[in-house]
Amino acid sequence: MATTDRQATTLALAHALSAAERGLAVIPLSRTKLPALRSPHRDDPTAPICHGECGRLGHGVYDATTDPARIRDLFTAAPWATGYGIACGLPPHHLIGVDLDTKSDTDSSAALRELALRHLFTIPDTVVVLTPSGGRHLWLSGPPDVVVPNSAGRLAPGIDIRGAGGYLVGPGSRTDHGTYATAPGTAHLAPAACPPALLRLLLPPPRSHHPTPPSTGGHGQGLVQFVLAAHEGQRNTRLFWAACRAYEDGIGPALVDPLIDAALNTGLSEREARATIASAARMTGHRP
């Protein structure tokens, strides 16, 4: 048993190192698919929020790295690891995981096809990982300046999204339920770019504090307000969303300056704001 586990750990490490070579940041996982290393702060309820600033290991997805020496350190500290997780949302791939579940009685693959038909996108050829329970993970690559949040069942029942702060169980991982493996013919692929129409579905919808905002300033003013109300963690996402809407509605060029002003107000730099708006323009098929 112990020997089997050691072999599983060695194998997981080998898979993790190979994923890292492709630019994917990894952490060791236990058989339960959770990060193998527990938080060094778990016994200290008064500890301030730490994402690894303390220098120790055990900060979940914040430990994720592509550095082989660091990966070996992580696995040495977690000799019970039998798998590895791949952090989403990090450069260079800005990985987005589309997790198609089979547990629910709904057909999540059919739900995704239906979404694709309704929103006019096609699922590109990309890495597909088969899960032991019969589910599938599609790996997509997001644009660098957009934060895709994690969500469960928001897109459709049985479809979970792994975005920033989330991770995907890497192919070759062994868990209590079985082994994860790439679908035949997809292992060599790079994560394909997420179709813009799908990406827009993954971004949070605007949430107004007023159920029916007064229509004094019109649609453009609403988009500007939406950006102005952004908290620090959502500034770029909101700006991107608002700019996409503006371009789709034909007021993109007119709204560039007001949106940049709003973004500066939230603390984004002008360079960041212009890059995000340019990206939204490209996404929606316009010239930045």
The answer to the question of residue 228 lying near Zn ion (CB under 5 A) is no
Q: Report the alpha-carbon distance of residue 39 to residue 224 in Å, rounded.
A: 40
* Segment 48 to 67, residues that bind Zn ion, using CB under 5 A: 50, 54
Provide the minimum distance between the beta carbon of 144 and Zn ion in the complex, in angstroms, as a whole number: 27
What are the distances in angstroms from CA 238 to CA 22, 205, 228, 268? 30, 9, 9, 12
* Segment 199 to 218, residues that bind Zn ion, using CB under 5 A: none
Q: Give the count of alpha carbons within 13 A of 152, CB side only.
A: 2
Provide the minimum distance between the beta carbon of 46 and Zn ion in the complex, in angstroms, as a whole number: 13
Q: How far is CA 64 from the centre of its chain?
A: 14
Provide the minimum distance between the beta carbon of 7 and Zn ion in the complex, in angstroms, as a whole number: 31
* Segment 23 to 52, residues that bind Zn ion, using CB under 5 A: 50
DSSP reduced 3-state for 155: strand
Nearer to Zn ion, 25 or 243 (CB): 25
How many residues lie near Zn ion (CB under 5 A)?
A: 2
Provide the minimum distance between the beta carbon of 48 and Zn ion in the complex, in angstroms, as a whole number: 9
Provide the minimum distance between the beta carbon of 32 and Zn ion in the complex, in angstroms, as a whole number: 22
**N-term to C-term CA, the chain:** 59
Nearer to Zn ion, 55 or 184 (CB): 55
Rg (CA), the chain: 21
The binding site for Zn ion (CB under 5 A) comprises 50, 54
